[in-house]
Structure 1
């Protein structure tokens, strides 16, 4: 699963949410979570996901985005997704209400993605299978990230690992380049593992400080349930689908779905 952080601008780092960072000696995980995750990678199976993402700017609620759906596995990881979204505040209406990723394509509908479509068409097909829409900057399906969340934890209690990483740390794990100003910003996190070493939740928080303009704090709370469930994700009916390039140059439909990279935070490129 890829990462998306959209709609925020960058200035400098600021204090993060202290509630996520209780201090205590770290302990070794009773079960290797990376190996536990890899055992789940079987075609026809997957996991259900739900997420709430919130922003507050100068203490006032900004965006509230909820995500719910299923992720389908292949032998090497997540290969398909069917996700539904609801969004309030901010730029609500500019995001899709549903996305399906299957094979080499991602299909989206809702909001601006459903405006001006030919009669009978309900979905737009993008030639991009890398987009799995989430606002969680910490991708637990990336083995390097999951390992770091456990090994870098400053506190371990009851299967919950708490710690702090910077965006620079995370970008190196993903193998992405980011603006040096963004790299110093800290992400406080709490990772929940069950007795089998499988992730049941990950919570993160970070703050962007705009100086005299104030600051924005973002929190993402992602939960996973039903590990190993039989999940079948299929593309929408072909007669309801239109390819993006068929819409012509005058279309108001976005030419691409947000690119899932850390650099999409504030449009850094």
Structure 2
């Protein structure tokens, strides 16, 4: 976003004096602003609503809130609570990702647990984004891509669309097939410091005669730079997913990182 400070004309008595234009302010760089936030012990909070429809029928309408903790190179931990889940939802009621593991509870993750256990531990860490956002604004390369692809910038909000092929390329990977062609429309809001305050995304999966799936997610970010501490649940309260699988318990093998994942793969 560019801001310009222009000189103003002033008049006094019988003489008109025109002030010289002031120096042009440097444009805000959201990527630099983001990286400055990468301070251990600090982070950002968020609230999120996500709605998924299939052929116009609501399949999921979730509300989430939580906090993300930063390290020197990005997000290192997150704590997310989700409400208004449907019985068929794969989103956990609570998710904590820290120390290279992800702990979940509630819904399909709460079935057949040993006595005294409240959490299921997975070996993968989900520290990139919130549960239902298909676009990770905490990855500098992706944030730069969104800024570059924006077709409009009004009032600090950048709007555009980006394909999953382009997102994969930003990560240095290649993506082909139908999924690579899916486009995510977005509206990215920035404050005066260049920090993300709002992200609205929408995507559509058209399966032809099998119907059309549409997902819309809106996330708001507050408290940039606030102190954030995320701790893993007590070891006595969790069980590893591998132990559950060996015991025949019916829990999901993986945790979907976004609502998009549930329908796209």
TM-score by length of 2: 0.83
Root mean square deviation of aligned Cα:
2.4
Q: Corresponding residue for 2:183?
A: 186
Once the two structures are superposed, what CA deviation does each residue of 1:203-232 show, in whole Å capped at 9, x if it has no partner?
A: 111211122333222111111100001111
CA drift at 1:261: 11
- What's 2:253 paired with? 255
Between 1 and 2, higher relative CO (CA 8 Å, sep ≥ 6) is seen in: 1
**Alpha-carbon separation, structure 2, partners of 1:112 and 1:244:** 12
Conservation of the 8 A alpha-carbon contact between 1:163 and 1:189 = yes
1:128 to 112, 124, 129: 124
**Are 1:40 and 1:228, in contact at CA under 8 Å, matched by a contact in 2?**
yes
Superposed, 1:1-269 pairs within 5 Å as: 30-89=27-86, 91-92=88-89, 94-130=90-126, 134-247=131-244, 248-258=246-256, 265-267=263-265
Number of aligned residue pairs: give it: 241
C-alpha distance in 2 between matches for 1:87 and 1:176: 35
Tell me, in whole angstroms, the C-alpha distance in 1 between the residues paired with 2:192 and 2:210: 45
Consecutive unaligned residues in structure 1, runs of 5 or more: 1-25
Contact 2:2 2:28 in 1 (8 A): no
Residue 140 of structure 1 aligns to a residue in which SS? coil
CA separation of 1:45 and 1:163: change in aligned 2, threshold 3 A: same
State which drifts further: 127-136 or 69-78: 127-136
Whether contact under 8 Å (2:87, 2:107) holds in the other structure is no
Bigger radius of gyration among the two: 2
Match of 2:22 in 1: none
Alignment partner of 1:150: what SS?
Answer: helix
SS in 1 for 2:109: helix
Answer yes or no: is the 8 Å Cα contact 1:179–1:263 preserved in 2. no
Gaps of at least 5 residues in structure 2 are 4-25
TM-score by length of 1: 0.81
The secondary structure found in structure 1 opposite 2:50 is strand
Q: Distance in 2 between the 1:177 and 1:86 partners?
A: 35
